[in-house]
Amino acid sequence: MNNTDAEIMQSYTVMVNGGSGVLVNAMTLDYSYVLTAAHVIRKKKGDIAVLDLDDINVLDYKSEKLKVLAVLIDPAPHDAEDPTYDCAILKVEYQARVLQRCFAASRLPHLAAIILVGYPATERGSADQIKQYDGHKTSVVNKLVILTINGVPAKSTIQGMSGGGVYHIQAGSPFLIGVEFQMDGTGEEQQYGRVQCHSLARFEEIITACTSAQMIPAHLECFSRMREMIFAFNVIDPNNVHQLKVALEGFADSLIRGGIPAPYEVMEQYDLQLLVDSKRPDELKNQELWVAYLEFLVICALMDNVGAADANYIKNIERKRRLLYTSDGSNWLRRLEELLKTARKYLDKNGTLIVASPEAAAQLLPPNFTLKNVISNIAVVPNEGPLAIDTVESAIYTSFKLTHLEGLRKNCVIDSEDEYQGLPSGRAQLQLFKDKLNEIIN
């Protein structure tokens, strides 16, 4: 049963002392983060605001206590009363259930709808402690987001929401865009209906300054997050390839248990080398890239008949096979010259380059005439005229096998689903899948 947007947002909301907080994922399995406002974890001792780990009490939406491991605040010298620094990050024990999705506040359209979620003081102890306030974005300047809340609530109504998560609903899913920390306006008579929020970029600055693990989307924590999304064969009758899909998912499970590095570790290792277009680094966090990469590893391990796809295996095949991702759904063959040059840079002779993109009707392979024309253009001998072809370079370019992941799915499974229907087991279907892959890319 799928949770509603409200249930998802509430499940990531925590109570932090007299304020609120929001759970997010970190690039580690050792801990998770709670983003909050610094003033809710400080206590006044005389005229001094102090921070003591033992004084921080964090309860999740089920009122279960979360162990606080450490606190991250901006290490730059600052006045504790300066609102620029009214943000803090709590390291808490790892929360495997968190699947937080984030969105850059700077990309929000004008008057974008937002939702503020937290624990208002007036509702503490009630049966329904977590409240949501609808509103819209007013402005975003220097990582500071001003929000206008519907109904123009007074400060007394918002009290206790400090540190609460602010969300934007996009494509039917809630995306965290920042954390509320105070009312907008200098005088109390002005503090109605508008609140200030630190964007996630402000918290990323603190994490970087403290050399802690970066915040990441949940799917970058472990490939198991995407296991059910792989090999979505768009066949006429899914029953025909059901055993194949079960076998592939089972093989993926065994590879994950056997030590596939976390997606964020692969990202750290290869970075922009995973992308068709290095000028679009944000694509590295796209879930579609990592679903494709898990499929790629399963295909490679199947073709090599190995039972592990750990860091050593990935290193060993990096000059033999590569996957490149782009979110551009246009015809992948338009970039054939660029792809061939990338293959020349990263692959040995006879290497395979697999492109993953949203192009639903992607061709399996480049037409021979197109391939020959492109190779003749890029294998020209320097300084010897436009007709002088470097035969050695031409042979290397010709040896590369370039294909598209969707084309492989279509050619090896979708167009042949009747062949799988007649096979008795997943093992037999897996062998047929491997045989068809070998015909194309081995």
**Pick the residue with more confidence: 319 or 27?**
319
User: Is residue 75's pLDDT more than 90?
Assistant: no
Cα separation, 139 vs 186, in Å, equals 17
pLDDT band at 76 (very low <50, low <70, confident <90, very high): confident
For residue 70, the model assigns a pLDDT of: 94
For residue 261, the model assigns a pLDDT of: 94
**Coil vs helix vs strand at 49:** strand
Enter the tokens of residue 372.
């020959």
For residue 208, the model assigns a pLDDT of: 93
DSSP letters along 47-86, please? TEEEE-GGG--EE-TTS-B--EEEEE---S---TT-GGG-
pLDDT band at 321 (very low <50, low <70, confident <90, very high): very high
**Coil vs helix vs strand at 3:** coil
φ, ψ for residue 51 (rounded to 5)? Answer: -125, 120
* Helices 263-270 and 287-304: angle between axes, nearest 10 degrees: 90
Highest mean pLDDT among 94-103, 278-287, 349-358: 349-358
pLDDT band at 51 (very low <50, low <70, confident <90, very high): confident
pLDDT band at 399 (very low <50, low <70, confident <90, very high): very high
φ, ψ for residue 336 (rounded to 5)? Answer: -60, -45
Enter the tokens of residue 275.
């992308």
Cα separation, 288 vs 29, in Å, equals 22
**Coil vs helix vs strand at 105:** helix
- pLDDT above 70 covers a percentage of the chain that reads 93
User: Is residue 403's pLDDT more than 60?
Assistant: yes
The structure's pTM equals 0.79
Q: What integer is the mean pLDDT of 321-347? A: 95
Q: What integer is the mean pLDDT of 391-407? A: 90
pLDDT band at 382 (very low <50, low <70, confident <90, very high): low
Mean pLDDT over all residues of the chain? Answer: 90
**For 108-162, what is each residue's pLDDT tens digit?**
898 999 999 999 999 888 889 999 999 999 999 988 999 999 987 777 888 899 9
For residue 369, the model assigns a pLDDT of: 81
Cα separation, 441 vs 155, in Å, equals 64
For residue 383, the model assigns a pLDDT of: 53
Q: What integer is the mean pLDDT of 334-359? A: 95
Cα separation, 132 vs 169, in Å, equals 13
* Helices 405-412 and 287-304: angle between axes, nearest 10 degrees: 50
Structural contact between residues 37 and 19, judged by C-beta atoms closer than 8 angstroms: yes
For residue 82, the model assigns a pLDDT of: 81
For residue 371, the model assigns a pLDDT of: 86
